[in-house]
Amino acid sequence: DAGVIQSPRHEVTEMGQEVTLRCKPISGHNSLFWYRQTMMRGLELLIYFNNNVPIDDSGMPEDRFSAKMPNASFSTLKIQPSEPRDSAVYFCASSLDRGRETQYFGPGTRLLVL
Amino acid sequence: GEDVEQSLFLSVREGDSSVINCTYTDSSSTYLYWYKQEPGAGLQLLTYIFSNMDMKQDQRLTVLLNKKDKHLSLRIADTQTGDSAIYFCAERDTGRRALTFGSGTRLQVQP
């Protein structure tokens, strides 16, 4: 199994630009999570999906952030417009909802907004 | 809300045991996890423990859970330089699927 795949691995953009982060969960997993990691706030949940439906988006910072999961094998996190304070590592994780909730993380996307 | 706390840094000598501690506040936590993050990499699940257990051992790793004190520890026996990383404690409560992470403990193993 290839594990959770994220792209791009690194993204450098200018303030005001749109950024799209992509995630492919592990095949067969039915839950997908987006986390953000910063030095100041550590790891924070942004949103999670179960069976492609957004369940909890209370961690999404503001309207500039949006996430979609059009099918079981793909999800996007979009920031529009981006700001320097969005600079962070964004992780995608997936799991199979079976009680134990073992989440498997992707390698992350390192975003730098100038 | 939930809160998970860890010490920030631990330094040990190669071959010694490492003990990384974690405290949590949510009494309804069902599962508790330890993840490892190496520089520039994602989080790797090391082990987990169910809240009705006191101890779990997996090769060099031993997890101890004191539910009364809401204290979780990870012991790494015979610590190696390859164990140098940041270790995150995380918990999940019954009402929420997502994990709440601690701030991470940076383990430095001196040769």
B93 contact partners, CB below 8 Å, separation of at least 6: B2, B26, B28, B29, B30, B100
pLDDT of A101 strictly over 70 = no
pLDDT of B26 strictly over 80 = no
For residue A57, the distance in angstroms to the closest alpha carbon of chain B comes to 11
The predicted structure's pLDDT at residue B6: 94
Size of interface A-B (CB pairs under 8 A): 49
The predicted structure's pLDDT at residue B84: 96
Could you give phi then psi for residue A30, rounded to 5 degrees?
-115, 0
Please state the rounded mean pLDDT for residues B23-42: 86
| Cα(B86)–Cα(B42) distance, integer angstroms | 11
Q: Percent of chain A having pLDDT more than 70?
A: 96
Mutation to test the A interface, candidates B28, B43, B51, most A Cβ within 10 Å? B43
**Beta strand pairing status for B105-110 and B9-13?**
parallel
Place of tokens 């979609």: A68
Helix/strand/coil (H/E/C) assignment for every residue in A31-95: EEEEEEEECCCEEEEEEEEECCEEEECCCCCCCCEEEEEEECCEEEEEECCCCHHHCEEEEEEEE
| Cα(A36)–Cα(A27) distance, integer angstroms | 23
pLDDT of B42 strictly over 80 = yes
The predicted structure's pLDDT at residue B67: 87
| Cα(B17)–Cα(B111) distance, integer angstroms | 13
More reliable by pLDDT, B72 or B93: B72
pLDDT digits (tens, 9 = 90+) for A19-53: 999 999 999 999 999 999 998 888 999 999 999 99
The predicted structure's pLDDT at residue B92: 84
User: What single letter denotes the amino acid at residue A58?
Assistant: S
Mutation to test the B interface, candidates A4, A43, A58, most B Cβ within 10 Å? A43
pLDDT of A72 strictly over 60 = yes
Q: Percent of chain B having pLDDT more than 70?
A: 95
Residue among A42, A48, A59 whose CB faces B97 most closely: A48
Residue A58 banded pLDDT, cuts 50, 70, 90: confident
**CA torsion through residues B51, B57, B61, B64, sign:** positive
More reliable by pLDDT, A58 or B76: B76
- Residue A65 pairs in a beta bridge with A79
Place of tokens 């730098």: A112
The predicted structure's pLDDT at residue B53: 81
With CA atoms as reference, the chain B residue closest to A10 would be B40
pLDDT of B30 strictly over 90 = no
The predicted structure's pLDDT at residue B31: 85
